Amino acid sequence: MIRSFLVLFSVWFLSFHSYGQQQAVPKLVWKVNRIDLGTILQENGLQSVTFDYTLSQGAAFAIEEIMADCGCTTMKFSKDSIAIGQSGKVLVDFDPSSAFGFFSKLVLVKGNKGQVQDSLYIEGIAVPYPSDLERNYPVKLGPLGFRMKKVNMGDVFDNEPKVKFLEFFNYGSEPLIKKNLQVKSPDFIQVEQVQELVRPKERGLLKINYSASMRLELGAVSDQIQLNWGKLEAIELDILADLFDYFAPILKSDLEKVPQLFLEKKVIDLGGISANAVQRQVIVLTNLGKEELEIRKVQENCTCVVVEYPKTSLLPGEKMELNLVFDPIGRKGIDQRNIYIFSNDPVNPVQLFVLKSRID
């Protein structure tokens, strides 16, 4: 009797387990679910992207419907079913003339009677064609027109390179051919022309790739690059960037263990001072953490400020004085000097100290 019951139970369990496997909810693994198109010029027309997916769970899957949050996107897909391990594609076309500036468009994929509802995103920056070229591209360097002479990359972290697209207008009489572009730049800056050909009186894009990990610097930096298309006049561009160390998020329980930079004061107001009197102040730093603190850099926003400090590391609980010397000669009125302190404090890796005064 007991033996018969065990046999029946085993048959029931295996059947139930097999049924559960067959009824598993379909699961799609997307190669990427967010695509950044970068900067798009309006005249470049429709932009096409492809989202690839694989069925990793479930007996079969078929897309029933794809919805978008904007009429500026059109989608193509196959309604054929795929089995586990097989792959499919969703093709999306985006019209950049429908949105100017930053955009983020949602594409919702539905299938298997609502069992699957996955979200895909297309992002980028759409640039309209200007009505006044001279006003929009006033900086003329050789045959090219730019909005500004200096290219600001913004914040760049050392964990991954940063990419920026730079617009230009070809005021010249010669076409700019991608393969003819010659670039003289530091190793940490790479530049390429996006379009294969930019004709006279057309706009183009330069793709600038900046690697902070190769730059080996922190804070505000400036570099110069030179561009030349064959026999055309060479042009120079200034590349600005603010470089930072990247620190991965840490657990709340580890907050007391890591280095912690503490400033006893973050602002000193000198009040009214004479332009002929050099000012000296002291900033006290303390490591409140339980690991060694490294002072990686101290950067001032003016050569009129000099900061001196005896060492670059502090043991847990240790204090150190930073000596500030401010020479206000040649200055007048309300003045503010910023001192940035870079450290290996993962929570606050860059701290700001402000020196204020009113110079008579």
The model's pLDDT over 223-264, given as tens digits with 9 standing for 90+, comes to 999 999 988 889 999 999 999 999 999 988 888 889 999 999
pLDDT attached to residue 12: 47
Residue-wise pLDDT tens digits, 278-297: 999 999 999 999 999 999 99
Start-end of CATH 2.60.40.10 domains in the chain: 27-127, 133-244, 252-359
Q: How far apart are CA 154 and CA 51, in angstroms?
A: 30
Q: How far apart are CA 4 and CA 10, in angstroms?
A: 10
Residue-wise pLDDT tens digits, 309-322: 999 999 999 999 99
Q: How far apart are CA 280 and CA 269, in angstroms?
A: 12
Higher-pLDDT residue of 156, 19 = 156
pLDDT attached to residue 78: 85
Which of 305, 356, 301, 299 has the alpha carbon at shortest distance from 329?
A: 305
Q: Do the beta carbons of residue 123 and residue 167 sit within 8 Å?
A: no
Tokens of 131: 């009505």
- Angle CA 102–105–111, to nearest 5: 165
The CATH architecture annotation of domain 27-127 reads Sandwich (2.60)
Average pLDDT, the chain: 90
Lowest mean pLDDT among 113-117, 166-170, 186-190: 113-117
Average pLDDT over every residue of 10-36: 67
Instruction: Answer yes or no: is pLDDT of 17 > 50.
Output: no
Average pLDDT over every residue of 22-41: 86
Given 2.60.120.260, 3.30.470.20, 2.60.40.10, 3.30.420.40, which CATH number is that of 252-359? 2.60.40.10
pLDDT attached to residue 9: 44
Q: How far apart are CA 344 and CA 350, in angstroms?
A: 9
pLDDT attached to residue 79: 82
CA distances from 341 to 65, 225, 289 (A): 53, 29, 17
Percent share of the chain, pLDDT over 70? 93
Q: Do the beta carbons of residue 223 and residue 243 sit within 8 Å?
A: no
Range 133-244 classified under CATH 3.50.30.10: no
- Sort 203 into a burial class: Cβ within 10 Å, 0-12 / 13-18 / 19+: buried
- As a whole number of Å, the end-to-end CA separation of the chain is 106
Query: Residue 131 CA to chain centroid, in angstroms?
Result: 30
Average pLDDT over every residue of 159-163: 95
